[in-house]
Amino acid sequence: MIDERMEIIGAEPVSTDCYRMTLQAHIGYADARPGQFVMVRIPDGLTPLLRRPFSIHRSRRLSASRTALEILYRVVGKGTRRLAGCRPGDRLDVLGPLGRGFSDPPASGPLFLAAGGMGVAPMVFLADRLCRDEKRRRDIRVFLGGRTAEELLCRDRFEELGLPVVLTTDDGSDGDQCLVTYPIEEQIRLIPPTMIYACGPPGMLSCIAGFADTYGIRVEVSIETLMACGLGACLACAVADRRDRQRYRHACLHGPVFDAREILLP
Ligand SMILES: Cc1cc2nc3c(=O)[nH]c(=O)nc-3n(C[C@H](O)[C@H](O)[C@H](O)COP(=O)(O)OP(=O)(O)OC[C@H]3O[C@@H](n4cnc5c(N)ncnc54)[C@H](O)[C@@H]3O)c2cc1C
Ligand code: FES
Q: Closest ligand 1 atom to the C-alpha of 222?
A: 1
pLDDT range class, residue 265, cuts 50, 70, 90: confident
Identify the architecture of domain 2-98 in CATH: Beta Barrel (2.40)
**Could you report the per-residue pLDDT of 250-261, keeping only the tens digit for each?**
999 999 999 999
Q: How far is the CA of 80 from the centre of ligand 2 (A)?
A: 19
pLDDT, average across residues 229-252:
91
Closest CA to 265 of 216, 214, 199: 199
Average pLDDT, the chain: 95
**Could you report the per-residue pLDDT of 74-112, keeping only the tens digit for each?**
999 999 999 999 999 999 999 999 999 999 999 999 999
Give the pLDDT of residue 44. Answer: 78
Q: How far is the CA of 137 from the centre of ligand 1 (A)?
A: 31
Domain range annotation of the chain: 2-98, 111-259
- Ligand number nearest CA of 253 is 2
pLDDT, average across residues 231-259:
92
- Ligand number nearest CA of 266 is 1
Among the four given CATH numbers 3.10.129.10, 3.40.50.80, 3.50.50.60, 3.40.50.11890, the one describing domain 111-259:
3.40.50.80
Q: Is 227 in the pocket of ligand 2 (CB under 6 A)?
A: yes
Q: Is 79 in the pocket of ligand 1 (CB under 6 A)?
A: yes
Residue 195 has pLDDT above 70, yes or no: yes
Q: Closest ligand 1 atom to the C-alpha of 226?
A: 41
**Could you report the per-residue pLDDT of 201-213, keeping only the tens digit for each?**
999 999 999 999 9
Residue-wise burial string across 21-31, b where 16 or more C-beta atoms lie within 10 A, e elsewhere: bbbbbbeebee
Give the pLDDT of residue 45. Answer: 65
Q: Closest ligand 1 atom to the C-alpha of 256?
A: 1
- Choice from 33, 39, 40, 80 to test ligand 1 binding pocket (greatest atom count within 8 A of CB): 80
Give the pLDDT of residue 46. Answer: 63
Q: Which residue's CA is minimally distant from atom 4 of ligand 1?
A: 54
pLDDT, average across residues 20-41:
97
**Could you report the per-residue pLDDT of 178-190, keeping only the tens digit for each?**
999 999 999 999 9
pTM over 0.85: yes
Q: Is 39 in the pocket of ligand 2 (CB under 6 A)?
A: no
**Could you report the per-residue pLDDT of 124-136, keeping only the tens digit for each?**
999 999 999 998 9
